[in-house]
Amino acid sequence: MITSSGRSKIRSAVVVLAAAALSAAGAVAVIATTTTPAAAAVEDDSAGCPVPGSVPLTSNPRLPDPFRRVDGTRITTKSDWRCRRAEIKELVERYVYGDKPAKPASVTGTVSSTSITVNVSQNGRSASFSASVQLPSGTGPFPAVIVVGGFGADTSTIRASGAAIISYDPLAVGREGTPRNNKQGAFYTLYGSTSTTGLLAAWAWGASRILDVIEQSGGNILKADAIGVTGCSRYGKGAFAVGVLDQRIALTMPIESGSGGVPIFRGIAGESGAQPLSSAYSEQPWLDDAFGSFTGNPNTLPVDTHEMVAMIAPRGLFIMENPHIDWLAARSGSVAALAGAEVYKALGAGDNISYWSDVQDGTHCAARPEWRTPLQQNIQKFLLRTGNAPGTFRISSLKAGNLSQWRDWQTPALTDGPSTSPSTSPSTSPTTSPPPTGNGCSATVSINQWPGGFTAAVRVTAGSAPVNGWTVTMTLPAGASIVNAWNANRSGNSGTVQFTNVSYNGSIAPGQSTEFGFQGTGTGTGTTVSSCSAG
């Protein structure tokens, strides 16, 4: 809730971003190398990348090094970023947002010139929601911007620039005003009202399902590869989460997102008047239940929002903030942007990130004239692909962060060579349990091995009858030990291990599949599937 606002007469200075400018107050113009803007073809391209098991929660008042892997080594090539991003994503979902499930078993819907309908089903549960569409003038198909909650970047400027508006009501997917143990909305209908996943991840999941339907529609009205997202205030938090968690989003534009959005967690407590993390956590169940353990000491978090900014790289990102309202933590937001921009620059994509807090009007969520031109330029560059304006930082002297106070790491010169990350291709042929008969199931495992560790991806498939609960028995090689598993319960960590379904993936329709996985130490090569049983 905003309690105060005002207009400042302080004029911001403009300087060129260089090493010395990291500590300068005032507006900053970023000059960086140019890269071809492009969204990914998939929601998450990190399939096969190892993800961290347990990590030490040691206190660190500085921002974590985004270039340092969980094992302590630093990435050295641009292609290494893919699997480093996967590590960050795992930590973000584990400690900040909560788990964002992959695409449900069934996603259907329609796209028209006025609306989008979405129907989802998973494990016998179904839900539906919709969004309205406003097309610009001209002949389609059109790029589009998802406006979360109806509050975001100036919609008249977006449409005048040639992009459609998709008005998305996130409360239909994750309702505010509910207790953490009884969350409501389409997401929680599928994954349970007691899910620990916060509303922001649920809202991001809903936006991803809208994108699924656009992809399936054939592209006659809207272009699935030219979708942006925007939102202001709490919906700015949501827009940020959408861009962080779906790599198909070509342009992310959060506005005045405040605590729980772009601003670094570590900086909020020391920023006068900023909404405390405990307040943001308790105001609404926006964040994962696990985040409650860190509101009093964010220094123990193994991740921070600058790495979430970096997760959007090299895609388009335009962050807009308001320095006139202390509650919004714009100083901590500028630090997040500056630190995240280091990853953009290392990837050769420094021109794809912009930050703008140098505004005169202090009204919350206003359509500001200072943002109109960069908004048009970002739409042209990332959605219409007709422009190539450089990214720009204009930081108000009222809330200028100093990155040098927050980092003890330097930005590496990443090369264009092959990835030095652990192999992201299965290193062994899949092993399969006996084929299912009647109401049985089968399971297939693929191992991704690297020196000292491995991950396993297991697919469980129903036979000719539906499965309601399953158990997969597997035997690990001598010396191998499981350190982390997802989407399944397990009976042990070594030798012969039984994996059973969790609450949301036990029901499998005939001929359909679900997946679980685990990470281990030692050698996973030779892991075998003994059996898959249903019921």
User: In this predicted model, what pLDDT tens digit does every residue of 452-489 receive, in sequence order?
Assistant: 777 787 888 888 888 999 999 999 999 999 987 777 89
- Among the four given CATH numbers 3.40.50.300, 3.40.50.620, 3.90.1530.10, 3.40.50.1820, the one describing domain 14-358+365-405: 3.40.50.1820
Confidence band of 439 (pLDDT split at 50, 70, 90): low
Domain map of the chain by residue range?
A: 14-358+365-405, 431-534
**More confident site: 466 or 261:** 261
Query: Residue 136: which of 169, 112, 162, 175 has the closest Cα?
Result: 162
How far, in Å, CA of 333 to CA of 398, rounded? 12
Q: Which of 233, 396, 433, 446 is catalytic?
A: 233
Mean pLDDT, range 405-434, rounded to an integer: 74
The secondary structure of 308-346 as a DSSP string is HHHHHTTSEEEEE--TT-GGG-HHHHHHHHHHHHHHHHH
What is the reported pLDDT for 434? Answer: 64
For 307-324, what is the mean pLDDT? 98
In the block, which residue shows the tokens 């991950």? 455
Residue 517 near residue 486, CB atoms below 8 Å: yes
pLDDT at 487: 78
Query: Which whole number is the average pLDDT over 340-354?
Result: 96
- pLDDT at 280 (0 to 100): 97
The span from the CA of 78 to the CA of 81, in Å, is 6
Lookup: tokens for 120:
């989802």
Tokens of 516: 């679980």
CATH class of 431-534: mainly beta
Which stretch of 296-300, 369-373, 506-510 has the lowest confidence by average pLDDT?
506-510
Q: Are 162 and 249 in contact (CB under 8 A)?
A: no
Q: Residue 364 — pLDDT band, cuts 50, 70, 90?
A: very high
- Known catalytic membership, residue 46: no
Distance CA(203)–CA(245), nearest Å, equals 11
Per-residue confidence (pLDDT) for residue 43, from 0 to 100:
93
Percent of the chain with pLDDT over 90: 72
Residue 222 contacts residue 111 (beta carbons within 8 Å): yes
8 is catalytic: no
What value does the mean pLDDT take over residues 69-89?
Answer: 94
Residue 36 to residues 32, 40, 221, 363, Cα–Cα distance (Å):
13, 12, 25, 35
Q: Please give the share of the chain, as a percent, with pLDDT higher than 70.
A: 89
Sign of CA dihedral 497, 501, 506, 508: negative
Cα distances (angstroms) measured from residue 51 to each of 456, 485, 519: 11, 10, 7
Predicted local confidence at residue 422, as pLDDT: 61
Catalytic residue from among 161, 332, 364, 421:
364
Of residues 97, 317, 98, 107, the one with CA closest to residue 211: 107
What pLDDT score was predicted for residue 485?
79
CA-closest candidate to residue 493, choices 504, 502, 501, 484: 484
Instruction: Please state the rounded mean pLDDT for residues 484-504.
Output: 88
For the segment 11-58, what is each residue's pLDDT rounded down to a tens digit? Answer: 233 322 333 333 333 344 433 334 445 688 889 988 778 888 888 899
d(CA 46, CA 347): 17
3-state secondary structure 451-491: CCEEEEEEEEEECCCCEECEEEEEECCCCCEEEEEECCEEC
Question: Which residues 6+ apart lie within 8 Å of 321 measured at CB?
Answer: 255, 256, 257, 262, 328, 330, 333, 334, 355, 356, 357, 399
Closest CA to 150 of 162, 142, 158: 158
pLDDT in tens, 234-257: 999 999 999 999 999 999 999 999
Average pLDDT of every residue of the chain: 88
| Per-residue exposure over 51-75, b if at least 16 CB sit within 10 Å of its own CB, e if not | bbbeeeeeeeeebbbbbebbeeebb
Total-model pTM:
0.77
Closest to 426 (Cα-Cα) out of 450, 457, 447, 456: 447
